[in-house]
Amino acid sequence: MWYTGLLDLSVLQLVLVALGMTHVTIVSVTLYLHRHSAHNSLDLHPVLSHFFRFWLWLTTAINTKEWTAIHRKHHATCETENDPHSPVVKGLKKVVLEGAELYAEAATPETLERYGQRTPQDWIERNLYSRHRNLGIALMAVINLSLFGVHGIWIWALQMMWIPVWAAGVVNGVGHYFGYRNYECADNARNIVPWAFFIGGEELHNNHHTYPNSSKLSRRWFEVDVGWGYIRMFQLFHLAKPKGYRPIAHSVPGKMDMDVETVQAIANNRFDIMRQYRKLVMEPVLQQQKTLMEDEIKPRYRKFKKLLSREVTLIQPGEKEQLESLLETNPVLRQIYDKSHELQALWRRRGVKPHEKLQALKEWCREAEASGIRYLEDFSAHLRSYSLRPA
């Protein structure tokens, strides 16, 4: 019958087809637009790259240059007035509900010129994909109606809302508002959940903002990056080549002598180093000191646990006062807190010669080993073991 379409599928089959088609769309966004085009962390075979571009034309009307430029600007101006879609600045509600509109508003000629470099400008892009953007989604509507009959209407509607809801709304909005943080990067990016099939790995937003040039978004054993699974599959058929996913620093058991490579390795692995410092030094020392805290401070133990390792620029003025009140009454916590910032200063200093950074690291380790705090002493030995991974 005409109203069931050429395929005449059951309701369950229609649902599975719709989910499959929207999944191809999110894979196209995370692999082609995000990791390949915006961050150059993934090389794609021209055939696969063009398939993703064609599919996005059909299902989203997204322009590669616009999406790439706006995303690069987001990273360059994250959580400032110039950020195209920051919930910290614009509010969570606006970003979640009007994410697609914010993209359209941000696609100014100046943004495209500055951030849209190295994007497709071939004949088909100029004469079809960019010139006739709405033709693709109109063609998709015709295809859906032909194949699925009247059910093609809701399938098409689902396709049209998929990216504005999940990518523009959830990832850009919720990903800077709720969730957990593996690393204290300089913005409020968070991992929404450890895995989410519907978002293709983009839910690991804190990991991505910490290591934006990595083609792999998962960092811990329980995190699942669906997009990385597809990259590995395409790699088997020589259709994809991931870049920047393997740390160039590693720990060498038994190594105690520090050199310039040690400093370079620590600086390269700095976010993970500070996560280890939180787990190996701050948390156990804070647990020891909990019994010594004054009664009015103990109820805020969980909050202090987070504040001790939080990126300084993200701490609110009221929180700074609370943190200072704790540190003033506890010399041990003050010491490990100050030592964490002294360590971060090693890689934040600009214009300093490598051997001077090496001397600063050696001094940090000497002070840590003389502190009388076992966890600091052990962490000093851990830092000494770092080196650059052999090529």
Note the pLDDT of residue 296: 63
**Residue predicted with more confidence, 280 or 291:** 280
Alpha-carbon distance of 28 to 319, in angstroms, equals 41
Instruction: Indicate if 282 and 258 belong to the same structural domain.
Output: yes
Asked whether the beta carbons of 112 and 105 are under 8 A apart, the reply is no
Instruction: Indicate if 118 and 36 belong to the same structural domain.
Output: yes
- Phi, psi at 191, each rounded to 5°: -80, 120
**Residue predicted with more confidence, 350 or 319:** 319
Q: For 241-286, write each residue's pLDDT tens digit.
A: 999 888 888 889 989 999 999 999 999 999 999 999 999 999 999 8
Instruction: Indicate if 179 and 40 belong to the same structural domain.
Output: yes
Note the pLDDT of residue 68: 97
Band the pLDDT of 58: cuts 50, 70, 90.
very high
Instruction: Indicate if 237 and 337 belong to the same structural domain.
Output: no
Indicate the DSSP class of residue 244.
S
Instruction: Indicate if 315 and 294 belong to the same structural domain.
Output: yes
Instruction: Indicate if 232 and 112 belong to the same structural domain.
Output: yes
Band the pLDDT of 100: cuts 50, 70, 90.
confident
Instruction: Indicate if 70 and 218 belong to the same structural domain.
Output: yes
Q: State mean pLDDT over 44-49.
A: 98
Instruction: Indicate if 289 and 368 belong to the same structural domain.
Output: yes
Is the model's pLDDT at 128 over the cut of 90?
Answer: yes
Burial of 292 (0-12, 13-18, 19+ CB in 10 A): exposed
- Which helix (H) or strand (E) segment holds residue 137: the answer is helix 133-148
Instruction: Indicate if 67 and 215 belong to the same structural domain.
Output: yes
Percentage of the chain modeled with pLDDT above 70: 98
DSSP symbols for 187-211: S---B--S--GGGTTTTBHHHHHHS
Domain count, the chain: 2
Q: For 73-93, write each residue's pLDDT tens digit.
A: 999 999 999 999 999 999 999
Please measure the distance between the N-terminal and C-terminal CA atoms of the chain and give it in whole angstroms: 63
Asked whether the beta carbons of 26 and 162 are under 8 A apart, the reply is yes
Which of 192, 210, 242 is the C-terminal boundary of a domain? 242
Residue range(s) defining the domain that contains residue 336: 251-388
Task: State the helix-helix crossing angle for 331-348 and 317-329, rounded to 10 degrees.
Answer: 120
Which of 224, 242, 260 is the C-terminal boundary of a domain? 242
Is the model's pLDDT at 328 over the cut of 70?
Answer: yes
Q: State mean pLDDT over 118-138.
A: 96
Indicate the DSSP class of residue 259.
-
Tokens of 215: 């083609």
- Phi, psi at 328, each rounded to 5°: -65, -30
Residue of 208, 205, 217 lying closest to 242 (CA atoms): 217
Instruction: Indicate if 146 and 274 belong to the same structural domain.
Output: no
Residue of 260, 259, 228, 230 lying closest to 244 (CA atoms): 228
Note the pLDDT of residue 2: 65
- Phi, psi at 44, each rounded to 5°: -115, 145
Q: In the chain, at which residue ranges do the beta strands (DSSP E only) sit?
A: 42-44, 240-242, 249-251, 386-388
Q: Looking up tokens 């089959």, which residue turns up?
A: 13
Instruction: Indicate if 354 and 375 belong to the same structural domain.
Output: yes
Q: Give the 3-state secondary structure of 336-372.
A: HHHHHHHHHHHHHCCCCCHHHHHHHHHHHHHHHHCCC
DSSP symbols for 282-320: IHHHHHHHGGGS-TTTGGGHHHHHHHTTS-GGGS-HHHH
Which of 219, 242, 265 is the C-terminal boundary of a domain? 242
Number of neighbours of residue 123 by Cβ within 10 angstroms: 7
Instruction: Indicate if 201 and 90 belong to the same structural domain.
Output: yes
